[in-house]
Amino acid sequence: MPSRFLPGATALIVIDMQRDFCAPGGYAAQAGLDTARLAQPIAHIQALLKAARAARLLVIHTREGHRADLSDCPPEKLQRSIRAGAAIGSDGPMGRLLIRGEHGHDFIDELRPAPGEVVIDKPGYGAFHQTDLAQVLANRGITHLIVCGVTTEVCVHSTLREAVDRGLACTTVGDACAASDPALQAPALAMINVEGGLFGQVLDTEAVVTALTTMAPKESTA
């Protein structure tokens, strides 16, 4: 069991498993990405969620998206989305792309938050940028994050690096993440392990689930 998985001090954060990234017709599809590949981690994330909930971990879900008037979308980010062929705020089959409240902005059905789980709506790639995530973690005494979701090289990495800079010990679940380009998955994970684990450790779902299972409260037989 990884020594830094501490009961009461560990949280699972699921990054951006939204229809806009993981379902046909959303932002990623409009940008020419393979949403089927981005959806591949679903089963692994379901296993992580089941284990985390059984171990009574704090579970956090993030969604990337913007206000309807785009007042929180930097002009340069908007221009990047236009160049990608998926202008933020433009109309798509599931509503306006990456706009809060639209059908595409919401979580995929397979990974919807359970009642009481934290939802962080973020306007940037990293989950700490212009959100209250740091306060949520501090208030709960969280020192370790288990990170999964999409995309490995962008929002997962941005969140991971911000977390490390804040002194959090991080584990990235490699097979519970997906990159926008399959060629980027292995290098993105390899970067985490440089200099003896500069950005934490990389484990697979089986190893993390096994560790969390040992943390789950035992049912009384009395």
Q: Where are the alpha helices (DSSP H) in the chain?
A: 19-22, 27-30, 35-38, 42-54, 75-83, 133-139, 157-165, 182-192, 194-197, 205-213
Widest distance between CA atoms in the chain? 63
The answer to whether 16 is a known catalytic residue is yes
**Catalytic-role residue among 22, 148, 155, 170:** 155
The answer to whether 50 is a known catalytic residue is no
**Catalytic-role residue among 122, 170, 175, 177:** 122
Say how many Å lie between the first and final Cα of the chain, rounded: 28
Q: Are the C-beta atoms of 189 and 202 separated by less than 8 Å?
A: yes
Residue 127's closest CA among 115, 112, 145, 110? 145
The answer to whether 155 is a known catalytic residue is yes
In the structure encoding, which two tokens stand for residue 191, read together? Answer: 């970067």
Catalytic positions, written as ranges = 16, 122, 155
